[in-house]
Amino acid sequence: MTKQNTIRIEKIEQLIKLYSKDIRQLCRKYYFIGGNEEDLFQEAMIGFLEAVKNFDTEKGDIDSPAFAKFAMMCAKRQVIDAVRKANAQKNKALNTSISLQQTFSENETGFIYDIEDESNPNPEQKFIQVEAGEEALAKLTQSLSSYEMQVLKLFLEGKKYAEIAISVGKNEKSVENTLQRIRHKLK
């Protein structure tokens, strides 16, 4: 490494020490989902280092108030940009997702396949639901006449009243009344 590069690195380190308190204070004003103050500080430091790299020395020395204003503006813009990107709707799925990996012990990790959710019941709940449905169907079958069973079967197949009426040889009103009786028996 050349002597000039060493001097430049030392100067950058001095600038970082000089401005880090102000940059941390800047970061406290902002927040993004899934991040913390340290993440924002890193983003601000990226902006600050870009300011060091791109500062026009014709407008003043790196120790001048012009540089301080420029550097803080670059750091702030970098933080605002990071917050805007993190809070964007396109990242919503990533920001609100849950991990399917779970740590069981120091050396053992696994995946969670059984997420408690009413729309996705676990195997025990599925079995209970199927069993309850079978019991209800058995009770219903005992209480319905063969004609009512025939109408119910056609209705559950998605047939319209007119189609059911033709299939069973009755009128639509008779089919409608039969389905009404079936509903009362279900209750």
Rounded distance between C-alpha atoms, residue 134 and residue 175, angstroms: 25
Query: 120-165: per-residue pLDDT in tens?
Result: 667 777 778 888 878 877 787 788 888 988 988 898 888 898 999 9
Contact 46, 82 (CB under 8 A): no
Max avg pLDDT among 18-32, 61-75, 100-114, 162-176: 162-176
* pLDDT at residue 126, as a whole number: 79
Rounded distance between C-alpha atoms, residue 71 and residue 82, angstroms: 17
Answer yes or no: is pLDDT of 66 > 70.
yes
Task: Report all structural domains of the chain as residue ranges with CATH numbers, in order of start.
Answer: 3-96 (1.10.1740), 123-186 (1.10.10)
Count CB neighbours of 164 within 10 A: 23
Count CB neighbours of 151 within 10 A: 27
Single-letter amino acid, residue 56: D
Instruction: Report which of residues 117 and 54 the model is more confident about.
Output: 54
Contact 109, 101 (CB under 8 A): yes
Q: How confident is the model at residue 4 (pLDDT cuts 50, 70, 90)?
A: low
Query: 69-79: per-residue pLDDT in tens?
Result: 988 999 999 99
